[in-house]
Structure 1
Amino acid sequence: MDTVRTEKYLNDLLEKTYDAQRGYAYAAEVINHVQLKRWLAQQGARRTEFAAVLFREIKGMNNTPELDGSFTGDTHRGWMNIKAALSLHKDEAVPEECLTGEKYAIQEYHKVLEHNKEMPPSIISILEAQKDEMQLTVNEISSLADFAHDHHL
């Protein structure tokens, strides 16, 4: 097990989880559709829980967890587009932007899980569970995107 690499992988995911949490929270704050607002807030809360688990695991390895989202060029692209969509008052664009963000996050989890030989089984289980939940979210978002499109939100 390579604890230095594991800590780096977890911190990278933690940064992206903070980005996702902020993206969902921002969207929930400014969107007009009540049901979508509630769903976005719930997703933001789930990402806060994901972050807390990752934070705790990094601390448990006697390392220093990231305290904020990413500021680099590879910042979670999908979440940055939410602000643009909402600034144009296009509630119907939000599910599509969330879908892009979630798919990006799943790809990041896949990349980290490719290094599973370097990580303890407990970490792998946590990451698999979070990735699986994000995949369920993608399925929900797809339904929301269809609903938003059909009802011209």
Structure 2
Amino acid sequence: MKSNRQIINELKELLLLVNDGKEGFETSSEAMEKIELKGLFLRFSAQRALYASELKAHIEKHGGKVDNEKGDLMGALHRTWIDIKQALSSKEDKVILNAVITGERVTLDKYNRLIADFDDHADHLDLLRTQRDGVVEAMESVYEMMSRQKS
């Protein structure tokens, strides 16, 4: 069983991912030509802002302190958002959509790991499952947009 400190640290890592996703979606929306894609990414950015707020409150409720919501990027995340920045320079919707999916996979993997690790902590599971489901829905929306791009 993980200690409260370990759980808080893992939730803080997730908070970093969520904040980076929020910024990534916002940046991606600025690079998109199509209004529909801009709107979709702005909606996901707002969703991630809400998730970050919920996570921060949850961490504080459990005795954690959130000093810096941005912090250093983890290795995989850093590579992911570098890919997104490179994709944005191309201004091709398909390239940006692929890069966003890569970032979402990293975030989804983190949620899934935490849900598996925290199976005996019901108070964490509700929040994590709800947010994870939102990430899955976002990925499905991006995949749908990708399939429309091919048509």
Is this a same-fold pair by TM over 0.5?
yes
- Cross-structure match for 1:106: 108
| Cα displacement (A) at 1:74 | 3.4
Per mean C-alpha deviation after superposition, the further-off stretch among 21-30 and 71-80 is 71-80
- Cross-structure match for 1:140: 141
| Cα displacement (A) at 1:116 | 1.3
Distance 2:71 2:47 in 1: 16
- Structure 2 letter corresponding to 1:108: K
Instruction: Give the match's secondary structure for 1:6.
Output: helix
Moved over 4 A (4+): none
| Cα displacement (A) at 1:76 | 4.7
Per mean C-alpha deviation after superposition, the further-off stretch among 95-104 and 15-24 is 95-104
- Residue deviations 1:63-107 (CA, integer Å, cap 9, x gap): 212421533423353333121111012122122111111122111
Does residue 77 of structure 1 match 2:79?
yes
Q: TM-score, normalised by structure 1?
A: 0.88
- Cross-structure match for 1:61: 62
> CA separation of 1:9/1:72 partners in 2, compared to 1, >3 Å: closer, same or farther?
closer
Contact persistence 2:29–2:38 (CA under 8 A): yes
- Cross-structure match for 2:88: 86
| Structure 1 unmatched runs, 5+ | none
1:10-49 matched pairs, under 5 angstroms? 10-49=11-50
> CA separation of 1:69/1:37 partners in 2, compared to 1, >3 Å: closer, same or farther?
farther
Contact persistence 2:29–2:42 (CA under 8 A): yes
Distance 1:97 1:106 in 2: 14
Q: TM-score, normalised by structure 2?
A: 0.89
> CA separation of 1:13/1:44 partners in 2, compared to 1, >3 Å: closer, same or farther?
same
- Structure 2 letter corresponding to 1:23: G
| Structure 2 unmatched runs, 5+ | none
- Cross-structure match for 1:4: 5
- Structure 1 letter corresponding to 2:116: E
